[in-house]
Amino acid sequence: MSQRRKAQFIRFALVLGLAAAFSGVAGCQYLADLTPVDTTQRPIAQTYAPYFPVGAAVSSWQLKAVETLVSTQFSQLTCENAMKMSYTQASEGTFTFGEADRVAEYARQNKKRMVGHTLLWHHSTPSWVFEGLTPGQPDTIQTLRRRLKTHIEAVVRRYADVVENWDVVNEVISDDTSKLFRDQSEGSRWHAYFGGDDDAGREYVYWAFRYTKDVLESIRPGFSKGKLYLNDYNVVTKYKKILRLLKWLDEEKGLKVDGVGLQGHWSLSWPAVGDIRHAIDAIVAAGYSVKISELDVSIYHDYAMDGSFSPQPERVFTKELQVEQAHRYGALFELFREQSKKMTSVTLWGVADDSTWLNAHPVAGRKNYPLLFGTDHQPKAAVFAILNFEP
């Protein structure tokens, strides 16, 4: 064993010694085994292969910067940003695929699956899409449909050989309990320009799925099977609304979506594991697959039970916090293993703590440590928590 590996094991042995002392901290009802594991001998991807693929969201620069982790610990890749519309078609008719191509080619060469993320997201729709249009008018809707179809066909055809499934629409469900869809007040111009009410506004969701299915079926009959997903956050509180939308698509539009992506941007104590289980069970009972599409575990508790935002000051990532986070990851992955026959994959929203979207959101410049590997690219206690189990 190398000196570096010995140092790593000693460091985490010290962390393990803290586990009992901090077993009563908030969110740590489940106690994982934090015995250090040599991840070169027992990588995450290989360990979880009998259950589900474990993936990571990446940018192309990470294929060199953390290539060892990407190649050995994850069996599936998602472009964190590069397949979004604002990146691939920032101006109408001019497609820029370089960044996404680099990730896709790496996946092909290394025999990894990909998730296509995402074909339609209100937050990543370029302004040109709506230029010169009047909300709700028939010619507006026809123009939007044409632009959406052109975009989806170009992206899906380019990556159809390597993408296992597509986040066709992203975050279309409202955070407001009194509304079904995200509307213009929550940033969705798609909903507004298709009519502004739920009957008319939801049509854009149908057309996104329709165009995606059609292009996949044109490649090969039956090729769309298992590939059409709706992706959203806070699914534990939104799943009933999601199922209403999917039922409408199925029963009234004749289009069956394959599954739901639970983003999994969770904290040390929210949501409760039981609530996640309940949401998964409800979605599966309705006839849909489930994937965990964007998993990270923030060390901050910024939202009150009523949903109000109260940001916490920056925290030091102490050994105690690392242990608490490890137990949380352990509890989540125990649930995922339990539900593995219902789940198609689990994707971490990043590779290591030196590069995470949570350093800029919801508080810009506040350091977070939400992933399995640390800023030094070494496994954290959370890795040991998810690897120490009896098959």
Pull the structure tokens for residue 183. Answer: 């509307």
**312-346 residue pLDDT tens:** 999 999 999 999 999 999 999 999 999 999 999 99
What is the crossing angle of helices 203-219 and 235-251, to 10°? Answer: 70
Domain layout of the chain by residue ranges = 3-387
- Confidence (pTM): 0.92
Mutual angle of helices 319-338 and 3-19, in 10-degree steps: 90
User: Any idea which residues carry the catalytic annotation?
Assistant: 171, 294
Asked if pLDDT for residue 120 goes beyond 90, the answer is yes
How far from 161 is each of 9, 308, 318, CA to CA, in Å? Answer: 41, 43, 44
Give the CA distances from residue 109 to residues 74, 78, 104, 333, 389, in Å, rounded to whole numbers and listed in that order.
Answer: 14, 15, 9, 29, 31
pLDDT of residue 29: 62
Above 90 in pLDDT, residue 26? no
Q: How do beta strands 265-267 and 228-232 pair?
A: unpaired
**In this predicted model, what pLDDT tens digit does every residue of 226-238 receive, in sequence order?**
999 999 999 999 9
Q: Residue 388: which residues within 8 A CB-CB, separation 6 or more? A: 32, 33, 34, 35, 37, 330
Show the CA angle centred on residue 255, arms to residues 249 and 258, nearest 5°: 95
Q: Is 375 helix (H, G, I), strand (E, B) or coil?
A: coil
User: Cα(249)–Cα(235) distance, rounded to whole angstroms?
Assistant: 18
Question: In degrees rounded to 5, what are phi and psi of residue 97?
Answer: -110, 0
Given a cut of 80, whether residue 25 has pLDDT beyond it is no
Superfamily name and number for 3-387: Glycosidases (3.20.20.80)
pLDDT at 305: 73
Spatial CA neighbour of 118 closest among 74, 97, 87: 87
